[in-house]
Structure 1
Amino acid sequence: MSKAAKNARRVFTGVDASGPVPVEYRFSHARNGNRHLVVVFANSGAPDDYGMSGGVLDKVRSNILWIRDSFDGANSFYLCQGMDFGIEQSVAGLIARVMSALSLTPDECTMIGSSGGGSAALWFGLKYGYRNIVSSVPEFLIGTYVTEALADTARLMMGEVTEEKVRFLDSVLPDLVRSRPNPTANIYLISSPQDEQFTRQVEPFLALLQGYAHFNFIFNDSSLVAGHPKVVAHNVPVIMGLLNLLVDGISPVIGGVRYGYEEPERDTAGIEAYLSATSQVRGVDFPAPVVLMPAAEERLPAHAVRFVGSAPRAVRVSIWENGKFQGSPAVAPDGSWTWLRDKPWGKGRHVVRLFGVDANNFHSERSEVVFTVADPVDAQDPVSVPAQPLALTVTSPGAHQQVPGPVARFAGFAPGAVRVEFQEAGVSLGACPVMADGSWAWESNWAWNEGQHFVEAVAVGAGGNASAWISVPFAVAGSYTVPVPGGYPGARH
């Protein structure tokens, strides 16, 4: 086993939907029963909106809770959306529930983060009474910062960006610090004159922290780094050094300390119950995707590995091999999906795993498909011989036919094909299998909008070969009531 694999931590993913806004998180158990919780807040450049991920904290002995800062596709400083602070309430609730599930107190918790994550560490650490706060190059004037540097974040947090809203967001963190809600917190603020944000976003507010009994200012005066992103990265070793001390109960101030906090036989039932209740994987009522193609253990040419299947309740399918992301095709309203990788597969045996993702980013259980890509030596095998061209015939509806609605039914023939796919205006509508006699039939599970439609269809063979696209112009009569407003995604209104 490699050293990296030995040190890697098992990470659980979940969504806490107890508050006004669902919050995604990752959690890793402490080593040897350590009695501490580290909460990690992300900056705007963090991978996948999780701070200090990718193994940075693998050697930290405590429990670790990473909280994702992604709401409607943008960061929020963990505070608000459209000036509604439901995000803050939800994040605070998540931290409190994890702490309670671990049977910990606020004195056994550390909040850490850099940049926007550093602002969040100060906010939640001070407002909610957590003992330790490690904040690297935070922004105090949040409204000004997001308006000037993070346009998507500004729109998410404020809705319409106005001077009044900017001023209000500029005031929330300084006013909180000034009110001293947690005066005995161990605060470690790390900054640098090499950071262009220092003179405007940090230095003017240091005086507000002087009244805290255990405020520590760590000044990174290295001339080897310049600019906010590089300073953020350069401060990570300092954060790690502090973190290991704080986790062990040692805060670098004058006074008595207790070392250890280890309980190897501690009861983990509480946190296990919480992780189970908020797990991102919803296997019980969210079935795993079904893979119709490739068939199990099928041999295929490198350029003709097309995936076809169904994924009820999902909006997309996430596809992985050897822990590496491969693609995420959308799921049509009827549950069908197809995917063809944009580069050929390497020769040999492939084990591909996939899961469905619903509109709330919950995951299904995993499916697995195993296939083999033939190498050049097998080029003469019958499986690798280029497939013959396919022909597709649509018998219903006829060209420019008016169908009664609300559901249109398509039928025809495609000898030698395994399925027929449908789209309109570039939007995938679904697919259907082809019977042994070459016949096929498909109808939607939604009501079509009244008026003209222009659907395209294509037949696909087992080797990935396809027929020419066929256009099917038709009209839907309007003498019915549409039961589903808007029809299928992409339908005309």
Structure 2
Amino acid sequence: MSQAAKSRQIVTGVDDSGEVPVEYRFSHAKNGNRHLLVVFANLAATDDYGWCNGILDKTQSNILWIRDVFDGRNTYYLCRNLDFAVERSVAAVITRVMNALGLTPEACTMFGGSKGGSAALYFGLKYGFGNIVSVIPQFRVGSYVRAEFPAGAQHMMGAVTDENVRYLDAVLPDLVQRSPNRRANIYLLSSPQDEQFPEQVEPFLPLFQGYENFNLIFNDSVLIENHAKVTYWSIPTIMGLIGMLVSGIAPRIGMVKSGGEQPGRDTSAIDGYLSATSQIRDDSVFPRPVVLAPVHEGLLPENQVLLAGTAVGAVRVSLWENGKYLDSAPVAADGSWSWEPTTPMPKGRHAVRLFGVAPSNLHSDRVEIVFTVVDRTVVPAALPSRPHPPVVVSPEFHGQQGPAVQFTGFAPGAAQVGFRERGAVLGVCPVAQDGAWFWDAGWAWPEGPHAVEVVALDVNGVESAPAVASFTVPGMYAAPRF
């Protein structure tokens, strides 16, 4: 499943086929472009995905963003406790995506800034990729994380000893010296205004002697104040360079080949990979969260903004607005969750989209709640009371059923019970005076797992939180297909 990020469609997934699960985002190329841009994150990247704020929106190539969170902390895409399983798993994901696209390493660009710049150099040189765009990297990784990010240093090294720091410091310089990938098109962007340049970059530039197309782009702008500002004031250069590389033009003396688009190319291989690893699976039985408060299109005083509800099977609820991440709310053992903003939300209309996140990191479908934040003196209308969720007696939870499935249970005080699956309404049935209800869909259910949301409705149509009827129809009961 995909979600919109400005004008590009983004697929979010987890590849857990390697030693370490790797989270990624992917966007298909525009106009059949035959290139893959792999993006590594810097330390300050939102949600640990670098350059994922729309700045690459007009880039023509396929784009693979890789998240640098492994066991809760950054790793420079390299190691935990000096175990380089992270590196091997990340390299495997890049290779799988490249192969699924029918590309070669020469048609791939590794790109990142700071921590991501170090990763771009490392993976580009070690695994033989054609293009490397490295912005303000750190070469002495061990010394840098020990000084600036002690918790990250412990995560990467285990014991933060001088010996381990020296070992991690040598990983990238040693690779530059011994890499056979001497024909890579390398573009290293730095600046004399970067306070890290004298220690982290300058001493290592001689190591690139013998590389056929090593380019040092030195931004000497007076507008640059520090390490972080180098990237900001170099964005036009970076975007122009990436635009040329994904078009097949590597700036150097001589003729180069451009183009090679294949608009009608078969995408079934990469679509199969994305479907198998997507965080929102077509065969998912993970229900959407339910928002119990506020009322849809309701009014909330600016000092009383609270969102609350249930999220069956989730460990947290992720909240977004206008494509920007707001926060995550933990889900309690009983399935309940609530969220209050840490800073006041601006007055006016808000449309918050949210989804549940399972322990396996799969995502539910999205739910949107719309409300208006008003002056704190305005008193909103009282929330309507909601009926209690129904009790489902059958089908047996997680049992095997089919092909006909009957639903029974109790919903005292309710007028009707409704049924839906993955957002689609399946039907309703009345509730007897004693609270009992019965529903038979009247069709043969398709094979596979099902998670049917069962809700109670009162006489005014107010809906309860859902109960989930989860069952599996074995393959032998599959309905015939014509």
- What TM-score does the superposition give when structure 2 sets the normalisation length? 0.72
Q: Does 1:384 align with 2:381?
A: yes
Report if aligned partners of 1:288, 1:367 keep a CA contact under 8 Å in 2: no
* 2-structure distance, mates of 1:386, 1:97: 51
Worse-superposed segment, 59-68 or 214-223: 214-223
SS at match of 2:31: helix
Shift of 1:244: 1.3
Q: Does 1:115 align with 2:114?
A: yes
Name the CA shift for 1:361/1:385 in 2 (closer, same or farther; >3 Å). closer
* 1-structure distance, mates of 2:268, 2:10: 17
Q: Give the aligned residue type for 1:312.
A: V
String of CA shifts for 1:76-124, please: whole Å, max 9, x gaps: 1110011111110111011001101111000100111111111111110
Q: Does 1:250 align with 2:242?
A: no
Q: Does 1:55 align with 2:50?
A: no
String of CA shifts for 1:113-141, please: whole Å, max 9, x gaps: 11111111111001100011111121111
Shift of 1:226: 3.0
String of CA shifts for 1:415-465, please: whole Å, max 9, x gaps: xxxxxxxxxxxxxxxxxxxxxxxxxxxxxxxxxxxxxxxxxxxxxxxxxxx
Q: Give the aligned residue type for 2:170.
A: S
Report if aligned partners of 1:286, 1:365 keep a CA contact under 8 Å in 2: no
Shift of 1:372: 7.5
Task: Name 2:332's counterpart in structure 1.
Answer: 332
Worse-superposed segment, 218-227 or 176-185: 218-227
Task: Name 2:273's counterpart in structure 1.
Answer: 274
Q: Does 1:162 align with 2:161?
A: yes
Q: Give the aligned residue type for 1:359.
A: P
Q: Does 1:23 align with 2:22?
A: yes
* 2-structure distance, mates of 1:327, 1:191: 34
String of CA shifts for 1:26-57, please: whole Å, max 9, x gaps: 11111100000111111112222122221111
Task: Name 1:260's counterpart in structure 2.
Answer: 259
SS at match of 2:43: coil
* 1-structure distance, mates of 2:215, 2:297: 63
* 2-structure distance, mates of 1:252, 1:298: 54
Task: Name 1:46's counterpart in structure 2.
Answer: 45
Report if aligned partners of 1:286, 1:363 keep a CA contact under 8 Å in 2: no
* 1-structure distance, mates of 2:266, 2:11: 18
* 1-structure distance, mates of 2:346, 2:193: 46
Report the count of equivalent residues: 380
Task: Name 1:317's counterpart in structure 2.
Answer: 317
Compare CA radii of gyration and give the structure with the larger one.
1
Task: Name 1:427's counterpart in structure 2.
Answer: none
Q: Give the aligned residue type for 2:105.
A: P
Task: Name 1:354's counterpart in structure 2.
Answer: 354
Report if aligned partners of 2:298, 2:370 keep a CA contact under 8 Å in 1: no
Report if aligned partners of 1:282, 1:365 keep a CA contact under 8 Å in 2: no
String of CA shifts for 1:6-41, please: whole Å, max 9, x gaps: 973222211111211111111111110000011111
Task: Name 1:134's counterpart in structure 2.
Answer: 133
Name the CA shift for 1:372/1:195 in 2 (closer, same or farther; >3 Å). closer
String of CA shifts for 1:146-194, please: whole Å, max 9, x gaps: 1112223212111221111101001111111111221111111122221
Name the CA shift for 1:126/1:293 in 2 (closer, same or farther; >3 Å). same
Report if aligned partners of 1:43, 1:116 keep a CA contact under 8 Å in 2: yes
Name the CA shift for 1:301/1:166 in 2 (closer, same or farther; >3 Å). closer
* 2-structure distance, mates of 1:52, 1:344: 26
* 2-structure distance, mates of 1:7, 1:386: 35
String of CA shifts for 1:380-408, please: whole Å, max 9, x gaps: xxx836999xxxxxxxxxxxxxxxxxxxx
String of CA shifts for 1:236-267, please: whole Å, max 9, x gaps: 22221211111111112223311112111111
Name the CA shift for 1:329/1:260 in 2 (closer, same or farther; >3 Å). same
Q: Percent identity?
A: 57
Task: Give runs of aligned pairs for residues 41-120 of structure 1, distance below 5 A.
Answer: 41-120=40-119
Report if aligned partners of 2:293, 2:309 keep a CA contact under 8 Å in 1: no
Shift of 1:344: 7.5
Q: Does 1:34 align with 2:44?
A: no
SS at match of 2:9: coil
Report if aligned partners of 2:294, 2:306 keep a CA contact under 8 Å in 1: no
* 2-structure distance, mates of 1:235, 1:220: 7
SS at match of 2:65: strand
Task: Name 2:8's counterpart in structure 1.
Answer: 9
- What TM-score does the superposition give when structure 1 sets the normalisation length? 0.70
Task: Name 1:472's counterpart in structure 2.
Answer: none
* 2-structure distance, mates of 1:130, 1:226: 33
Worse-superposed segment, 129-138 or 188-197: 188-197
* 2-structure distance, mates of 1:272, 1:15: 14
SS at match of 1:216: strand
- Unmatched segments (≥5 aa) in structure 2: 386-482
Shift of 1:367: 3.0
CA root-mean-square deviation: 3.0
Worse-superposed segment, 125-134 or 11-20: 11-20
Task: Name 1:182's counterpart in structure 2.
Answer: 181
